Each structure stands twice: as C-alpha cells, then as structure tokens.
Amino acid sequence: MFVKPRHEYVIVWMWDNMLRFCTFTNKLYGINFCFPKFGTPLNQKFGKTLIAKDLKIKGGYLPGSNVSRNLIAYSNIYWAKRLAGAMKKPVGVLSAEQINFDDIKNWGEISRSGKIGSDKARKEGKPNESIIAINPGGEETWQRLVSAYGQPNCPFIVMNNSYSTSYDLGNRKGFEEVYYLKRISRGFVFVSSYQLILI
C-alpha cells in the first residue's frame, strides 16, 4: 500500500479548483491563460507509452482525454492488473477514483471492475473472489469494505490509499501493511516485505 501525505491532497484540491476557474474563464473570455501546455513531458511519455498502450485505452492518451486528466487513477488500474496476475482467481477491482471503466479494453487477469459503494459492484460479486480496492478512503472504512465485498479466505487488498487518518507508520485497524512509501518530517519511510528503510 502506498500512502501519500495529506499536503499532496491539498495541492490536488487547489489544482482541481484552479482547473475549474481556468475552464470557466476560458469559456467566458475565450482566453486560456492558465494552461499553455498539456502535461509534463514525463507524464505524457508515461501515459502514452505505458498506461494507454497496456490498458488499450479507447482513443489513447490525448490532451483532454480521461486518461490524461486522471493519470493516477488509470495508473492504479495498471498496477492492480499487475497484482491480479499473482492472486487467487477470480479478481475484482473496485475503485473510488474518476475512471470510465468502458475506456479500458485490456483487463488482463481482472474479471470485473466497479465503483466502490455502488449497488452494481455489490451485486456482481463472485464466489471465492479476491478484491483489490483502489483508494477506498480512510482506514475506518476498510472493515466495512471487507464486509461488503470480501469473501472468506480470499485476499482483500487496499491499494494506493491517498491518505492516512492516523499520520502514524502503519494503521490502527490491524490491517497488515506490506508496502508503502510515507512522508515523514525528515524524509520518507519505505516499507516493503517487512523491511523498514528510512530515506
């Protein structure tokens, strides 16, 4: 699991509001003074050469496309696809992020996808299904997700949760954290397979 520090969420919130403001002014005045270029070269390369090709995104990675606007969300699907290859089948992927699941044409070992909290996602559950829950919210919601979507003796993975409600290393709900990168006051802490490394 990868946990981002809270200040990154604030930056995303500010960026989203700036985007809305710039979209409004562009429509009102016909001037696009906020976004002279589309994405960073590294993001464009990552989106075009890896994410859009591997997931076979309908329409590809273009300015204004769903994948270009929500690259982290689609990247999480890419990583879930990688995890699914090593998990007990069938594997369902549920996400709380801005994803148009119909855009993705190559799901690999993933048998189904859906939005966390939707009735459709609950009803489509399969017996003995492993679940990867992408960015489902604070750790206080994880047990409810396991109750709603999990199956006995099947893996339930919380992947790339955007924030930690405790600001501690680990969580307070007893979930085993096997992989994360977390910002601390003097750098980062990286945990992988029970190895603790201070960076």
How many angstroms separate the Cα of 127 from the Cα of each of 27, 149, 150, 158, 164?
A: 49, 10, 10, 19, 31
Asked if residue 174 belongs to a domain, the reply is: yes
Asked if residue 72 belongs to a domain, the reply is: yes
pLDDT at 43 over 90: no
Asked if residue 99 belongs to a domain, the reply is: yes
Q: Give percent of the chain with pLDDT exceeding 90.
A: 32
Asked if residue 1 belongs to a domain, the reply is: no
Asked if residue 175 belongs to a domain, the reply is: yes
Asked if residue 190 belongs to a domain, the reply is: yes
At 150-169, the pLDDT tens digits run: 988 999 988 877 766 666 66
How many angstroms separate the Cα of 153 from the Cα of each of 125, 130, 150, 156, 174?
A: 15, 9, 9, 9, 17
At 103-123, the pLDDT tens digits run: 999 999 999 999 998 989 989
Asked if residue 155 belongs to a domain, the reply is: yes
What is the tally of structural domains in the chain? Answer: 1
Asked if residue 76 belongs to a domain, the reply is: yes
Q: Cα separation of 199 and 196, whole Å?
A: 10
Domain interval for residue 177: 6-198
pLDDT band of residue 56 (cuts 50, 70, 90) is very high
DSSP secondary structure, 54-122, as one string: HHTBTT-S-TTSHHHHTHHHHHHHHHHHHHHTTSPSSEEEEE-SS--GGGB---TTEEEEEETT-HHHH
